[in-house]
Amino acid sequence: MKKTHIIGILVIAVAIVIIMSSVGDASTYVSFGEAMELAEEGNDTKVHVVGRLKKDSQGHIVGMQYDPLIDPNYFTFTLVDTNRVEQQVVYFNPKPQDFERSEQVVITGSMQKNVFVADKILLKCPSKYVEKEVQQNTASL
């Protein structure tokens, strides 16, 4: 066998390892129900959950708690996933500043006991994506 063939086989082997391992590392977007099932099976791989904040009829956010004076590294809130399942989420970091304004929240983490421990929060604020309207009060007449 020529040396180039051996190298070629090695390259293909490494490429396959890369693909397999990347597929294994790839996370998924799941619902809280699936996240719970994974946790019950003892699988603690991290998943993505997309949801909205729980709000009452007046539009106030419910179940959000952050008091930096007691503990700056503890933030908890309730997220409602796309299947309307509510779940308490804990984030051991300071609360993101524009959290209340977000339309949609993507969290990464896993279920631990009965709470979802998030290690990353990605906010989608409408203002970040939709251009602001021109404000009338900037009019120069």
Partner 1 sequence: MINTLIGDIGHTSVIVAFVAAVVSSYAYFMASRSKVELSGDNSWRNLARGAFYVHGAAVMMIIFSLFNIIYEHRYEYYYAWSHSSNHLPVYYMISCFWEGQEGSFLLWIFWHVLLGFVLINSYKKNKVWEAPVMAMFSFVQLFLTSMILGVVIGDVKIGSSPFILMRDFMPEAPVFAMDPNFVPTDGTGLNPLLQNYWMVIHPPTLFLGFAATLVPFAFAMAGLWKGKFTEWVKPALPWAHFAAVVLGIGIIMGAYWAYETLNFGGYWNWDPVENAVYIPWLILVGGIHTMIAYRRGKSGLKATYILVIASFLLILYATFLTRSGILGNASVHSFTDLGLSGQLFAYLAVFAVLAIGLLVYRWKFIPTTEKELSTYNGEFWVFIGAIVLCLAAFQVLFTTSIPVYNSFLGFIGIESNAALPADQIEHYTKFQLWGGVAIAILSGVAQLLWWRKGEKESFADALTLPAMLTLLFASLIIVLSKLGVLNDTIDNPAYITLLVAGLFSIFANLSIILNLIHKKVSLSGGAVAHIGIAMMLLGILFSSGYSNIISENTSGMVYSREFPDELNRDNVLLWRNAPVQMDKYTVSYHGQFQEVIGVPGYVDRELLFLTADPYKAIARGQIVANEKVYFDTGDTLELLSPENTYYEVKYKERETGKAFTLYPRAQVNENMGLLASPDIKHSVSMDLYTHVSGLAPEEKEWGELKEYVLSAGDTIILNDYVAIFNGIEQIKQVPGVKLAPGDIAVQADMKILGETKNYHAHPVLMIKDQMMGRVPEEVADLGLRLTFMNIDTENDKFTIGVNATQKDWIILKAMEKPFVSILWIGTIVMSIGFVMAIVRRKDEGGSPRAAKPKQARKAQVA
Part of the chain binding partner 1 (CB under 8 A), chosen from 35-43, 52-60, 90-98: 90-98
- As a whole number of angstroms, the distance between CA 33 and CA 39 comes to 10
- Which is closer to partner 1, CB of 60 or CB of 124? 124
Q: Does 21 bind partner 1 (CB under 8 A)?
A: yes
Angstrom distances, CA of residue 48 to CA of 30, 105, 110, 118, 120: 6, 10, 8, 9, 9
Site for partner 1 in 59-78 (CB under 8 A): 68-74
**Which of 53, 95, 105, 111 touches partner 1 by CB under 8 A?**
95
The dihedrals phi and psi of 34, each to the nearest 5 degrees, come to -65, -35
- Which is closer to partner 1, CB of 63 or CB of 96? 96
Q: Does 94 bind partner 1 (CB under 8 A)?
A: yes
Q: How many residues does the chain have?
A: 141
44: region left, alpha or beta (phi > 0 left; psi from -120 to 50 alpha): alpha
Antiparallel, parallel or unpaired: β 47-53 and 104-112: antiparallel
Question: Which residues here bind partner 1, judged by CB under 8 A?
Answer: 2-4, 7, 11, 14-15, 18-19, 21-22, 25-30, 45-48, 68-74, 90, 92-99, 101, 106, 108-109, 112-113, 115, 117, 119-120, 122-123, 125, 127-129, 131-134, 136, 138-141
